[in-house]
Structure 1
């Protein structure tokens, strides 16, 4: 059993509680217009091919500094659910907190087993309008909503992540509908608003990909505060 891996981060502070060891998996079925890791899309372009034991050894080297646990991100980690499951089994044997950063695009028996070894899910619900979601990601919204329903049914702790992109995800009606939808789940512990930025533009250019958002400016502080106020008005912790 080997996983296709893009990279590691040994001092992650935005990927779950505490300081975390982050594993970025290679491969993703989404094609988000604002993706900051377009170099993770194709699984066969992985920089590393490792066993779960080898990945845990990388964590073990820095465990005295990484007190929070392991987060598996991507790419889309559920694309390699079997590998992540074996890694998380090792984590649980060693008392290590586990988290997955996912779009929730896959839900099958293997993913459900993986979730039973997962302490926290960082879920990206990128838009609540189905048509806009499809425009933004090139995939359907429905699997992600079904994934959220399942997380609720097993009472799995969730941190929701919302990338605020001017002209794409900042419409007041969409923000209100998004907040209305997610506020009905009791397992949502917090919402993180992630302001859109242009730091990935060089990756798109290096890969010779058409970056459609090159003229979009990051949201202003006023726009961020507006989104935050809408989410908080539905009782969400932002």
Structure 2
């Protein structure tokens, strides 16, 4: 089975899909969102050891030129991820689908399903298929949380064991998407169309970051683009306010949108016929 680097597993989450779910965060991402709220999931540990000296409880050490993590000594102060220059974490763990699912099974009586996120979890479609197959056998729902930059049309076997995809549209304009992430969004929009066509588009999300891009125009164009998809297959749209918590310091200066503005954007989408809207 494929082994992946797991950043963390949250046993109970109410914000990563319908109902109470276990959320699995994989390490590694293929884009560079300026407002990334989990930058410690972006890169892989280089074993440079800088975090070892900074750890206040001695939970980190160097053995055979590799950073070792002792969870029994960790107090979750996050010093290690704050000092890391590689957008990584020394607290990750290499696991296969069976090992991850062994941790998920402990919550089965209390969860409705699982959601796998990142980083970008679609960098590991084989792992997702293996994990979701195990979950489906136990009657759990399965969702993919993705930035949409990996072609879903090439992963039809994975989609067969997936309930759907929570898809980011960072900005509707490809140039603005590139400004936000370093990459255009052509494949993202293609994925939205494909996933809708096969009934696998569960949610579309937009993070509203004033001054970084033209948020209002992006919502207008997104609404026009998504309207015919929504008329065929209903899905949720989530409008998410940028907040500086967890964002890398050099990108933490953007203004936080107020609720009045977020509701204004929601009204634009309602006028296109969207009914299932969430503002957070």
TM superposition score normalised by structure 2: 0.77
* 2:107 paired with 1:62: yes
Report the counterpart of residue 68 of structure 2 in structure 1. none
Structure 2: which 5+ runs fail to align? 46-87
Distance in 2 (CA, whole Å) between partners of 1:224 and 1:170 is 14
Equivalent residues in 2 for 1:138-177 (5 A)? 138-169=182-213, 171-177=215-221
Equivalent residues in 2 for 1:59-208 (5 A)? 59-66=104-111, 68-107=112-151, 111-169=155-213, 171-185=215-229, 186-201=232-247, 204-205=248-249
* Structure 1 residue 124: Cα displacement: 0.5
Distance in 2 (CA, whole Å) between partners of 1:233 and 1:114 is 35
Aligned residues of 1:89 and 1:117 also touching (Cα < 8 A): yes
Aligned residues of 1:25 and 1:75 also touching (Cα < 8 A): yes
Structure 1: which 5+ runs fail to align? 206-210
* SS of alignment partner, residue 235 of structure 2: strand
Cα 1:157/1:147, change in 2 over 3 Å: closer
Report the counterpart of residue 95 of structure 2 in structure 1. 50
Cα 1:15/1:199, change in 2 over 3 Å: same
* 2:261 paired with 1:223: yes
TM superposition score normalised by structure 1: 0.90
Cα 1:48/1:70, change in 2 over 3 Å: same
Structure 1 or 2, whichever has the larger Rg, is 2
Report the counterpart of residue 25 of structure 2 in structure 1. 24
* Structure 1 residue 223: Cα displacement: 0.8
Aligned residues of 2:204 and 2:236 also touching (Cα < 8 A): yes
Number of corresponding residues:
229
CA RMSD across the alignment: 1.7
User: What stretches of structure 1 move > 3 A for 4+ residues in a row?
Assistant: 43-46
Range with greater deviation from structure 2 (152-161 or 74-83):
152-161
Distance in 1 (CA, whole Å) between partners of 2:23 and 2:178 is 28
